[in-house]
């Protein structure tokens, strides 16, 4: 079990899945890691190529992680400690938990950054589906492992729905970027959090703050 996942419990009637970077958090984990390595410009170049469609997401992720080879694990930990939930995010998660709704974070980012942010906010979720940076001899290897490198968030959402006994029309997806499109397109309710222009057409509703998101979830009968 990943730290700051909740203890396993019986299936609930609804499932809310969040993206992390750009949605629950305004931080970018890879930027914090790149700062520790002195490779911010190279990291940004790869990111821009991916955003322009010049390279696929999986390739861009592997190239970005490759820049981190040799970074001391202690330095990586310090970078992850800089990751925070955006204002109001912990309140939304707590309200969902109190309402008995199953909560999940689906991110191409890294489990240690998610766990650090949840710990600081003193909040838990049912499941974290994230990638991870392998460590050998107290240094990052430059590789990346996990289910959301080649895998997509629609499959991850469907897998979780099946595990928790939730119908797909009882799922809610909250995201902002292109890699969130697959789960937004299959969820029962697709919520764009200040979404990119290409993502907004796939959203049933758009919000720009966590307070707005909580109002939407309340109005839709999720809370």
CA atoms of 159 and 147, how far apart (whole Å):
12
Name, in order, each residue with C-beta under 8 angstroms of 66's C-beta and a sequence gap of 6 or more.
142, 143
Name beta bridge partners: 18: 105, 174
Per-residue DSSP letters for 168-212? GGGEEEEE-SGGGHHHHHHSSEEEEES--TTTGGG-SEEESSHHH
Catalytic residue among 19, 27, 111, 176: 19
Catalytic residue among 21, 27, 111, 176: 21
Name, in order, each residue with C-beta under 8 angstroms of 185's C-beta and a sequence gap of 6 or more.
154, 202
- Is residue 19 part of the annotated active site? The answer reads yes
- Is residue 154 part of the annotated active site? The answer reads no
Give me the active site residues, please.
19, 21
């Amino acid at each position: 079990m990943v730290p700051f996942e909740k203890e396993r419990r019986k299936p609930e009637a609804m499932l809310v899945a969040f993206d992390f970077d750009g949605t629950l958090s305004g931080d970018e984990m890879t930027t914090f890691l790149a700062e520790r390595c002195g490779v911010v410009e190279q990291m940004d170049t790869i990111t821009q190529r991916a955003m322009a469609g010049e390279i696929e997401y999986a390739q861009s992720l592997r190239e970005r992680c490759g820049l981190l080879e040799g970074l001391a694990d202690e330095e990586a930990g310090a970078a992850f400690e800089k990751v925070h939930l955006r204002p109001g995010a912990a309140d939304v998660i707590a309200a969902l938990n109190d309402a008995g709704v199953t909560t999940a974070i689906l991110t191409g980012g890294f489990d240690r950054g998610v766990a650090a942010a949840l710990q600081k906010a003193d909040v838990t979720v049912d499941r974290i589906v994230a990638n991870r940076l392998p460590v050998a001899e107290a240094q990052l290897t430059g590789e990346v492992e996990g289910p959301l490198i080649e895998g997509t968030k629609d499959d991850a959402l469907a897998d979780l729905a099946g595990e928790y006994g939730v119908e797909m029309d009882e799922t809610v997806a909250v995201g902002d970027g292109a890699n969130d499109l697959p789960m937004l397109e299959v969820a029962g309710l697709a919520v764009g959090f200040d979404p990119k222009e290409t993502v907004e057409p796939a959203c049933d509703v758009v919000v720009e703050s966590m307070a707005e998101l909580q109002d939407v979830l309340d109005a839709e009968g999720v809370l």
